[in-house]
Amino acid sequence: MSKRDFFVESHISSKELNNQSVSLVIPRLTRDKIHNVLYYKVNLTSTSLRGNTMLQLSKIIIRDLGQLKDSNSLKNYLVGGVEFKCLLMKLIEIRPTFDQITMLLEKKKSPDDTFENKYIVALILTYLRIQYYYLKLHDASHLINLFREYINDYRKLKGIDMDMDCWSMSQQLKVEIIHIDELVDRLATNNNIWGIPLGKCQWSNIFELDDESDSGSDSSSGDSDSD
């Protein structure tokens, strides 16, 4: 690298969690790629949103992920795809409250069948796992309950193979059907998804937590019987 070459860090959110900028849960190279994507520049900058709050962002999320009945739209908005990662990055930068997240999840299928929340659910679950990996078990009951709820959701999504990065130059991207319960399983038990690292986490593996709970119940039952 010549003396004139240098790297300029991409936008870092001023909001913090776990004593660091919320942006840092996404690797720098991925952040740089996201901030240079036309979709991000046109839809997700503070200027294009006319603000930088969850109120403005939720309109884009509902518009682009909540109304995917048209098969042509599905070609662009794949879970794990470029636009999905842009929305994920913006969620991370804004750091919405859990109440705001819950409001998005509670928006259900519309009577005219033009809106469905399954792609929004996928975005939110991925966001929560990436952003709040550091929470201790006793602080994450609301997240654990969400994972337990959606492990029983078998709706189909169209997305990138969860082992692949949409920007990978060494792999031919594989688009496949992913069920929401499969996404939860991946977030619960793996250390990466779509090329994004998932931090070491106490609360995400709901299967181990359920096993421990069952063991505790069996032990208590045995003690009662012996009495």
Give the pLDDT confidence of 151-168 residue by residue, as tens digits.
999 999 999 999 999 998
DSSP string, 146-186: HHHHHTT---EEEEE-TT--TT-SSS---EEEEEHHHHHHH
- On whether the CB atoms of residues 98 and 142 are closer than 8 A, the answer is yes
Cα separation, 215 vs 188, in Å, equals 20
Q: What is the pLDDT of residue 76?
A: 62
70 DSSP assignment? S
Residue 77: other Cβ atoms inside 10 A = 20
26 DSSP assignment? S
Q: What is the pLDDT of residue 214?
A: 63
3 state DSSP class of 99:
helix
Closest CA to 166 of 193, 190, 194, 191: 194
Taking 50 as the pLDDT cut, the residues of the chain under it are 1-8, 71, 221
Cα separation, 60 vs 31, in Å, equals 19
3 state DSSP class of 122:
helix
Q: What is the pLDDT of residue 171?
A: 81
Q: Is 194 left (phi over 0), alpha (psi -120 to 50) or beta?
A: left
Length of the chain counted residue by residue: 227
- On whether the CB atoms of residues 55 and 99 are closer than 8 A, the answer is no
Q: What is the pLDDT of residue 111?
A: 64
Q: What is the pLDDT of residue 110?
A: 60
* Residue 83, token pair as written in the block: 């636009």
Cα separation, 63 vs 45, in Å, equals 16
pTM given for the model: 0.85
